[in-house]
Amino acid sequence: MDKVRIGIVGTGYIGNVHGSIYSRDERAEVSALFDIISERAERAAKTIGGKVCSSQEELLENCDAVLVTAPNRTHKEIALAAIAAGKHVFCEKPFSIGIEDAAELRDAANASKGVFQVGHNRRYAPVYATLKKLLSEDSAHSAHVKMNRGELKNPVWTGDVNVTGGFLYETTIHLFDMMRFQFGEIEELVAYGSQHEYPELDEFSIILKFKSGFHCTFASSSDASWHFPFERIEVFCHHRTIMTEEMERLFDSRGMDANFETLSFHMTEKEEKWGYVQEDKAFIDSILSGEPPPVTADDGFKSVELVESVYEAIRSGKRIRFA
Ligand SMILES: NC(=O)c1ccc[n+]([C@@H]2O[C@H](COP(=O)([O-])OP(=O)(O)OC[C@H]3O[C@@H](n4cnc5c(N)ncnc54)[C@H](O)[C@@H]3O)[C@@H](O)[C@H]2O)c1
């Protein structure tokens, strides 16, 4: 097969990250760019290449695969149009907003002949891939997970619930997907939330029980600070604690003394440390091999279901059980 021709819808921060990776991939080429602010597509074209298109339709005529890298609320419509045009789709997180839209997109993606991959990049980050390997060799009992932000001001739309769908969709969904990846399917949860700095719920405490019997606590604040690490997983096993600090480090403390091993990824390039290089490679692998991608539309749907369940648990004050 010739090179996979990549079209990018939304050439802001993350569109350029993926575009730059594909511009260096010999199996792919950036062939088309579309942004509602055309100067952004023109600027991106200078570094990552590709024809600057004046509409999404024109972009669809000039690519084999579409990267959906515009803000959250736009994902469903852009992805559905790409599926309808017979394209492979890489859709950034969040998969979509709301259960109905997520179900519609999941069904369309699953009925499509093309690949549909969701951008839960952290699954490929070396720190989290290592955690998964260590957990596969031990029996974990419980965990504490944290995912904070310092603000919802940059980019400006991250504080606009009409665009993001809510803080859990914008940020926390990364580690919601990570919990399923590391600990398996969820059986039930309870959650508390409150509103402080923004016109939406911006502070969350959640307790989850998994089908395996594993359980964990999860804290997420949108206006804490950028104190390192704003993202951390601590897992507790028999006389063992494994702890991650963002995508930089993993500590493994075994036995009854105070010694521990540290694995550091701070010398790894950010695009690889955060898993972007690996997920972009996986998308092309899947297109060329016909094998399912590592993060499917079903995974995307389940991350949306988890977000909605937490909001529902807070609204209703009830425990949410999963089928
Ligand atoms: N996986 C990750 O680590 C990660 C990191 C950053 C962002 N994201 C996700 O990627 C998406 C984009 O985030 P960003 O930080 O790049 O935002 P951004 O604001 O930097 O870029 C978004 C771009 O999309 C354009 N746009 C808006 N509506 C459009 C439309 N209908 N059609 C075409 N272009 C449109 C904007 O003009 C802008 O240039 C968001 O959904 C975000 O949640 C994921």
Residue 165 falls in which region: left (phi positive, over 0), alpha (psi -120 to 50) or beta: left
Are 58 and 190 within one domain?
Answer: no
What is the tens place of the pLDDT at every residue in 114-165?
999 999 999 999 999 999 999 999 999 999 999 999 999 988 889 999 999 9
What percent of the chain clears pLDDT 70, i.e. is strictly above it?
100
pLDDT band at 259 (very low <50, low <70, confident <90, very high): confident
- CA 67 to each of CA 46, 105, 188: distance values in angstroms, whole numbers, following the listed order: 18, 15, 33
> How does DSSP assign 28-95, residue by residue?
EEEEEEE-SSHHHHHHHHHHH--EEPSSHHHHHTT-SEEEE-S-GGGHHHHHHHHHHTT-EEEEESSS
Residue in 100, 29, 76 with CA at minimum distance from that of residue 68:
76
Determine which helix (DSSP H) or strand (DSSP E) holds 263, and give its type and residue range: strand 261-264
Report how far ligand 1's centroid is from the alpha carbon of 322 (Å): 31
Are 131 and 108 within one domain?
Answer: no
Are 93 and 208 within one domain?
Answer: no
Residue 14 Cβ < 6 Å to ligand 1? yes
Are 129 and 258 within one domain?
Answer: yes
Is 61 domain-assigned? yes
Is 299 domain-assigned? no
Given a cut of 70, whether residue 180 has pLDDT beyond it is yes
What is the tens place of the pLDDT at every residue in 70-94?
999 999 999 999 999 999 999 999 9
Are 140 and 249 within one domain?
Answer: yes
For residues 214-222, give the mean pLDDT. Answer: 98
Closest ligand 1 atom to Cα of 17 = 16
Amino acid at site 111? A
Given a cut of 90, whether residue 257 has pLDDT beyond it is no
CATH code (residue 31): 3.40.50.720
User: CB-based contacts of 208: which residues, under 8 Å, 6+ apart?
Assistant: 179, 186, 188, 189, 215, 216, 217, 218
Q: Rounded distance, CA 286 to CA 305, Å?
A: 25
pLDDT band at 1 (very low <50, low <70, confident <90, very high): low
Are 41 and 188 within one domain?
Answer: no
pLDDT band at 13 (very low <50, low <70, confident <90, very high): very high
Are 161 and 171 within one domain?
Answer: yes
Give percent helix, percent strand, percent coil of the chain, each to the nearest 5.
40, 25, 35
CATH code (residue 139): 3.30.360.10
Is 94 domain-assigned? yes
Locate the DSSP E strands across 122-248.
Answer: 140-147, 186-194, 203-210, 215-221, 231-237, 240-245
| Total domains present in the chain | 2
Are 241 and 211 within one domain?
Answer: yes
Q: In this structure, are residues 22 and 280 in contact, taking their beta carbons and an 8 Å threshold?
A: yes
Can you give the pLDDT at residue 96?
A: 97
Average pLDDT, the chain: 97
For residues 29-45, give the mean pLDDT. Answer: 98
Given a cut of 90, whether residue 258 has pLDDT beyond it is no
Pocket test for ligand 1, best of 11, 17, 35, 163 (most atoms within 8 A of CB): 35
In terms of residue numbers, what domain contains 40? 4-121+276-294
Residue 72 Cβ < 6 Å to ligand 1? yes
pTM: 0.97
Are 244 and 280 within one domain?
Answer: no
Pocket test for ligand 1, best of 53, 92, 160 (most atoms within 8 A of CB): 92
